[in-house]
Structure 1
Amino acid sequence: MKIILYASIALIAVSFFILVVYLARTLTTLQEALRRLTAAIDHMDKEVQSIGAETTQLLKKTNALADGVQKKVEGLNSLVHAVSDVSSTVQSFNRSLQQISASVTKQVETHQEKVVKIMQWGNAFVEIWEKWKERRQKR
């Protein structure tokens, strides 16, 4: 019976040794995995910091671009106001021309008979002038 007891103790010792060896290998593998995970996390941290810096630069450039666009829009607004003023001036000028034209038309209609007489006298004067020139050339 002692042999069975010694054999059992030896079997338990061997089993415990095998368990310790597998446990040591598992812990070593786990340690390697944790080391790789730590390295990956460090790499990701550096990448995130790099992306953060690039994002900050991009944000600054975007703000500068937005400021430039804003200034150009303000300049364009002043141009639109100037064009609007020119349009108002042209409309006023057109109204003035229409009023002058209406006034001239009214004056012509009022003095139409006088204008017709003046034109008749003018035609008569031109005819007399031409006849006088013909007679002068004949002499």
Structure 2
Amino acid sequence: MKIILYLSVALIAIAFLILVISLTKTLKAVKGTLESVSETLVGLEGQLKGVTSETTELLHKTNALAEDIQKKAEKVETVVDGIQGVGHAVQGVGNTVSDLNTSLQKVTRSVSSAVVNNEDKIVQIVQWGTALKELKDKWSDKKKAKDKKKGSQSEVVIHTQQLEGGRG
């Protein structure tokens, strides 16, 4: 029975040895996994720092952009207010032009009716004007002919005097 006891102790020792070897392998595998996780976490920490700095920079740019948009919106609002004022002024000018157009139409109608009423008188005036122009043209033509005749007589006298002066 001592042998059984020794064999049992040996069997327990072998089982314990197998257990220790298995635990060692498992712990080594866990150690490798933990080292890999640690490296991943270190890399992730670096990436998070980069993302955090980029996020902070993006937040600053977003704030600056929002401020710029606010300023431009205020300027656009001022421009829109100005355009509305110009629109009202243009509308006033449009009304004035419309009133002027109406007045011109009335004057045109009045002149047209006066022309129709005085058509005979206008025809007479045109005929008198034409007759006066013809008289003026005839008078101008006669005056030119007279001046031309005087000019040629003057040339003959001058030429004659030169010839006589050359002989003597």
Partner of 1:100: 100
Structure 1 position 76 matched with structure 2 position 37: no
Question: Identity, % of aligned pairs?
Answer: 33
**How many positions carry a matched residue from both structures?**
139
Amino acid at match of 1:131: A
1:51/1:137 Cα in 2 relative to 1: closer, same or farther (>3 Å)?
Answer: closer
TM-superposed deviation, 1:116: 5.4
1:19-51 CA-to-partner distances (Å, cap 9, x unmatched) read 222222222322232232222222222222221
1:101/1:118 Cα in 2 relative to 1: closer, same or farther (>3 Å)?
Answer: farther
| Counterparts of 1:131 and 1:63, CA distance in 2 | 88
TM-superposed deviation, 1:54: 0.8
SS at match of 2:29: helix
TM-superposed deviation, 1:57: 1.0
| Counterparts of 2:10 and 2:113, CA distance in 1 | 149
Partner of 2:87: 87
| Counterparts of 1:123 and 1:63, CA distance in 2 | 83
Please report the RMSD computed on the Cα atoms of aligned residues, expressed in angstroms: 2.9
1:24/1:127 Cα in 2 relative to 1: closer, same or farther (>3 Å)?
Answer: same
1:93/1:119 Cα in 2 relative to 1: closer, same or farther (>3 Å)?
Answer: farther
Amino acid at match of 1:21: I
Partner of 2:125: 125
Unaligned runs of 5+ in 2: 140-168
1:47-81 CA-to-partner distances (Å, cap 9, x unmatched) read 22221111111122222223323333333333333
1:93/1:124 Cα in 2 relative to 1: closer, same or farther (>3 Å)?
Answer: farther
SS at match of 2:61: helix
1:122/1:16 Cα in 2 relative to 1: closer, same or farther (>3 Å)?
Answer: same
1:123/1:26 Cα in 2 relative to 1: closer, same or farther (>3 Å)?
Answer: same
Structure 1 position 9 matched with structure 2 position 1: no
Partner of 1:38: 38
| Counterparts of 1:93 and 1:119, CA distance in 2 | 37
TM-superposed deviation, 1:113: 6.1
Q: TM-score, normalised by structure 1?
A: 0.74
Q: TM-score, normalised by structure 2?
A: 0.64
